[in-house]
Structure 1
Amino acid sequence: MRRILTILTLSLAPASAYAEALGGNIYIHDPSIAVLDTGMVSFATGVERAPDGGMPRTKTSPDGITWQEAGALPGGMPKWVTTELGFTPRNVWAPSVFAKDGTHYLYYSVSSFGHNDSAIGLMTNAALDPADPTQGWVDQGMVIRSHEGEDFNAIDPFRIDVGDKAYLSFGSFWDGIRQVELDPATGMLLDGAQPMPIASRGGGAIEAPAILEHDGQFYLFVSFDSCCRGRLSTYRIMVGRADTVTGPYVDATGKPMLDGGGTELLATKGRMIGPGGQEVFERDGAPWLAFHFYDDDDGGRPKLELAPIGWTDDGWPTLPALD
């Protein structure tokens, strides 16, 4: 979801993982987290047919535990979206926030469910205010586009910078996850850059890429299977790793992610149904995972969860055991 996101070091209260740890308003889809000097801000998929035009929604937390709604980004659907797509989407999907040199870059997706007539746009904010994270955003327009008939889908963006280069990973279904180089200053597509495949299930369900750099290797997190069905959701979080950000990524058995590989990190267990839509962020200098799940104890409603990432002796990510 998406880079490591820290701008300033923030000492947050420790939180045990999963469900019981978080409180307040944690109803969310596709979370992306910014860590600021006075707390945390989440960005998430907008509400369909909402008066605000389905724009990305924000929440704030002083400690990463108790969350409150801060509202949707104002202004309604950016004008370029309807002009480019030929229709007005019901909502904006899977916004992903990235911080660099004091500026926040918010990548977002516009599409219609089940189609790859889609685009990824960008908003920037030179002074994100944790007291009101909905203000200060300037839309920069379209970053990349996919059309019906092409074999990729321009949704679920995630940015990571490596050295003096920047990369955007994205994708859902079709031929899987793509990656393209960005201009690190503007956040827009680098001139002449072409999207390259980094993970695929041959048309099967894979989406929501997020990349983490750790100890000289790169870890690609994705979601397999079905989102957005409440208690019937089968989402699960998978991971592979590579020696370079561009891949090739393989799972723990050595199977390439381009050939459907992926090592399962988290799946349905107990009250937590269909965890996915994940992103990585940095908290107190350590990597964490943000994701949503469907709470079987609350009618299958989607909720936020944050979990610290640990590591096995052979360098694979782990999450705390479920209760």
Structure 2
Amino acid sequence: MAKTIISGFILFFLLIFSGAEPTSAAFWDTKGDNVIHDPSMIKEGNTWYTFGTGIGNGIRVIKSTDGKTWSPAPSIFTTPLSWWKKFVPNHEKNQWAPDISYYNGRYWLYYAVSAFGSNTSAIGLASTDRISSGNWRDDGLVTRTTTSNNYNAIDPELVIDKEGNPWLSFGSFWSGIKLTKLDKKTMKPTGKVYSIASRPSHGGAVEAPSITYKNGYYYLFVSFDKCCQGVNSTYKIAYGRSTKITGPYYDKSGKKMTEGGGTILDSGNDQWKGPGGADIVNGNIIVRHGYDALDNGAPKLLINDLYWDSKGWPRY
């Protein structure tokens, strides 16, 4: 793994030195138990862990020592928590799009409980001091939405700004992607909800935010269009950037992401259909799922080194 990352950086710097821009990034070619949806990845010690959507069996977890060959790890919350039913009745077995991050000495796992086509949703939080321990503390409800809201409390992601403050981005369809500041102790919202991306002319088809900071800009990655239809999925990854975490975010053409803007990074290929649910790891790795056309459309873990061009825009 270290050799792969180092070789990627060497290639990057050689290309920059020569005045060229990289046109592709190292593909990690995952194998083993790599079927997962909405992946979020982190490294603890010498082990990579990826967390993903669970339907009926808790939050799915897989692990790897090299980032390529994956095996199952114990799922989290295989028995529904009692408070889920209060906020999302009849759908408490759906744990979607978890996000794993490390902050202030703990690993924080945000996740959603919801159902397709509904914004009766809740974002929950669990935490641990060591992923490998398998001991997760239930930190309860973070935020929720009902049919009276014009946005959807799913697809959470913890973001740390350049000053070290925690924020939560989230959202799916309706009025789009939201952002709210978190309390450093409780890791729960403190007040205002900002709108940072929407697609009013595309039926609101934007979700799965991931924000990373690099060289003076916050980069917002999102998924456009529809997931979860195997090889017929139309998911694609788009991005924009802002000098402020709260936006406005602009794509490469200068269009605001709150007005439907977003530069496409990945729309798939002959084998990998509908890539999306992206997670940016350490600013130089992109993790997402794609539906494998060579395996009946199974959602599988895709990982690439992420490069940045001479103007600061991300690319493979």
TM-score (norm: length of structure 2): 0.89
Q: Does residue 1:148 correspond to 2:147, yes or no?
A: yes
Q: Take 1:231 and 1:87, find their aligned partners in 2: how far apart are those partners?
A: 29
Which 4+ residue blocks in structure 1 deviate beyond 2 angstroms? 10-18, 84-90
Q: Take 1:152 and 1:22, find their aligned partners in 2: how far apart are those partners?
A: 34
Q: Deviations over 1:181-234 (max 9, x none)?
A: 1012321122xx121100000142100000010111110000001100001001
SS at match of 1:194: strand
Q: Take 2:307 and 2:210, find their aligned partners in 1: how far apart are those partners?
A: 16
Contact 1:12 1:63 in 2 (8 A): no
SS at match of 1:80: helix
Q: Does residue 1:105 correspond to 2:108, yes or no?
A: yes
Q: Take 2:139 and 2:90, find their aligned partners in 1: how far apart are those partners?
A: 19
Structure 2 counterpart of 1:196, from 194, 197, 201 = 194
Name the counterpart of 1:96: 99
Q: Does residue 1:275 correspond to 2:275, yes or no?
A: yes
Structure 1 counterpart of 2:142, one-letter code? V
Alignment of 1:235-274 (within 5 A): 235-274=235-274
Structure 2 counterpart of 1:312, from 309, 312, 315 = 309
Name the counterpart of 2:220: 220
Q: Take 1:85 and 1:302, find their aligned partners in 2: how far apart are those partners?
A: 26
Q: Take 1:29 and 1:55, find their aligned partners in 2: how far apart are those partners?
A: 13
Q: Deviations over 1:26-59 (max 9, x none)?
A: 100000001111120000000x33xxxx310100
Going from structure 1 to structure 2, the CA distance change for 1:95 and 1:12 (only over 3 Å counts) comes to: farther
**Identity rate of aligned residues, in percent?**
39
Contact 2:58 2:93 in 1 (8 A): no
Name the counterpart of 1:4: none
Name the counterpart of 1:298: 295
Q: Take 1:73 and 1:88, find their aligned partners in 2: how far apart are those partners?
A: 17
Q: Give the number of equivalent residue pairs.
A: 295
Q: Take 1:301 and 1:85, find their aligned partners in 2: how far apart are those partners?
A: 27
Going from structure 1 to structure 2, the CA distance change for 1:88 and 1:270 (only over 3 Å counts) comes to: closer
Stretches of structure 2 that go unaligned for 5 or more consecutive residues are 9-24
Give the helix-richer structure, 1 or 2. Answer: 2
Q: Deviations over 1:264-286 (max 9, x none)?
A: 0000212110000101112xxx5
Q: Does residue 1:207 correspond to 2:198, yes or no?
A: no
Q: Deviations over 1:112-146 (max 9, x none)?
A: 110000010000101221xx6xx110111100111
Contact 1:240 1:250 in 2 (8 A): yes
Name the counterpart of 1:45: 53
User: 1:12 Cα shift?
Assistant: 6.2
User: 1:75 Cα shift?
Assistant: 4.8
Q: Does residue 1:70 correspond to 2:73, yes or no?
A: yes
SS at match of 2:85: helix
CA-atom RMSD in angstroms? 1.6
Going from structure 1 to structure 2, the CA distance change for 1:224 and 1:12 (only over 3 Å counts) comes to: same
Going from structure 1 to structure 2, the CA distance change for 1:208 and 1:12 (only over 3 Å counts) comes to: farther
